[in-house]
Amino acid sequence: MKFLLPALLILLAPDSAQAGPGGADAAYAAEQLAVDACAVEEKITEFGLSTGDALNSFNTKKGLVQLAITHGLITYIRTALDTDPEGGGGGVANTEFYTAAGRTEMAKRALMNVLPAKIMFAQMDAAQDSKANGLASESSTEWTYAQAVYTGTATGTRPLKADGGALDSPDAVADSACTAYVTANKRCDNFGTCVATPTTDLSHTNAKIMEAFGKGASQENANTITAQLCTVYYQATLRYLNKMDKENKEGATSSNGKNQGEGQAFSMAIAACPGLPTDQYNIIKALYDTATANKKTTNYCTGLTLLAKHPATGMTPTDLGTLKEATAQVCDAATASSLSGATAALLVLVATAVAGGM
């Protein structure tokens, strides 16, 4: 197994079927994942959860269901999509606060972000194993499969808009809109990490990931992709902590749970990021716990301080950027005095930016 920390593979490798040629992943066309995820998302948007159409749509997509089983997400997704969930399986709490608004986002992000990440890591690892065993053709197939899952295209090429033009804005409608590639474009807009004059990739994250994929299967390239994927989900985790704070500061007497549910699913993707200790991740996990409504107004600063101190291995302050939406957040820059190097610079950068109303 080839990734930076054993924990990454324990949490992200398949639970049953072996990935790679003949495995559960390879039996399912990579680009079909985005198509099927979008189809379920459309049912959620059209009908919500109360009619059962979204759950039925998911259950009829046998390839997608098998992938969810293989990668340990089946209970989480089905419980989130259920019209009247009876239990809190898969880490999903079933309480009065466990709302339809929150569950819809949990299901969508699990399908569009968490599941693709699990598949990508498994396939990249399989590609390196095949390469080490002299199976060059198999290695190339597995590596391309991981890239195709990321972009939502058959051969791993960059997704295009429906009119064939480049995906040059974070809100551009793409045939592969339900992919981590598009999520990275959205987060670069939120954190000021987009390419100034893009010719191919809108976000620096996507530029680095696509370059690493283009170089082929290797430990170095897999590490680069891992670091950049973790960057996207660090950004998403922080963004929804901030959204909860803003909602609570506005004095809402009750939350519909959307931000807490969506943030919970996104934060699942950082659980195994190399460089983030489990006990520190558990602090983030508790902030998003859907068993109770989070009424705190310090979620963002708590998360920022923690993640600045524990950046994913290979992630830089420039990669992470500064959350533009944090106008209500003034984190204590003095906290950075206990940190060192790049992590201290990251906290000072963000604290200064938010204090200035960026």
pTM for the complete prediction?
0.82
Instruction: Give the SS3 label for residue 240.
Output: helix
What does the alpha-carbon distance between residue 352 and residue 39 come to, in Å, rounded to a whole number? 42
Tokens, residue 98: 């466990």
Average pLDDT for residues 95-124, to the nearest whole number? 86
**pLDDT confidence tier of residue 165, bands split at 50, 70 and 90:** low
* Distances 199 to 157, 204, 229, 312 between C-alpha atoms, Å: 14, 12, 21, 28
What pLDDT, on a 0 to 100 scale, did the predictor assign at position 30? 83
The answer, yes or no, to whether residue 286 has pLDDT greater than 90, is yes
Tokens, residue 168: 């040059």
The answer, yes or no, to whether residue 96 has pLDDT greater than 80, is no
What does the alpha-carbon distance between residue 346 and residue 341 come to, in Å, rounded to a whole number? 9
Of 11, 300, 31, the C-alpha closest to 150 is 31
Residues 29, 294: contact at Cβ < 8 Å?
no
Range ranked top by mean pLDDT from 87-96, 125-134, 248-257, 335-344: 125-134
What pLDDT, on a 0 to 100 scale, did the predictor assign at position 117? 93
Beta bridge partners of 160: 166
Distance of CA 128 to the CA centre of its chain: 23
Of the listed ranges 94-108, 125-139, 271-285, the one predicted with least confidence: 94-108
Of residues 313 and 357, the one with the higher pLDDT is 313
Average pLDDT for residues 17-29, to the nearest whole number? 53
The answer, yes or no, to whether residue 21 has pLDDT greater than 70, is no
Interval 222-233: pLDDT, tens: 999 999 999 999
Maximum separation of any 2 CA atoms in the chain, in Å = 61
What pLDDT, on a 0 to 100 scale, did the predictor assign at position 276? 95
What backbone phi and psi angles, to 5 degrees, belong to 10? Answer: -60, -40
Instruction: Give the SS3 label for residue 13.
Output: coil
**pLDDT confidence tier of residue 292, bands split at 50, 70 and 90:** confident
Of the listed ranges 189-193, 248-252, 277-281, 348-352, the one predicted with least confidence: 348-352
What pLDDT, on a 0 to 100 scale, did the predictor assign at position 324? 86
What does the alpha-carbon distance between residue 111 and residue 273 come to, in Å, rounded to a whole number? 19
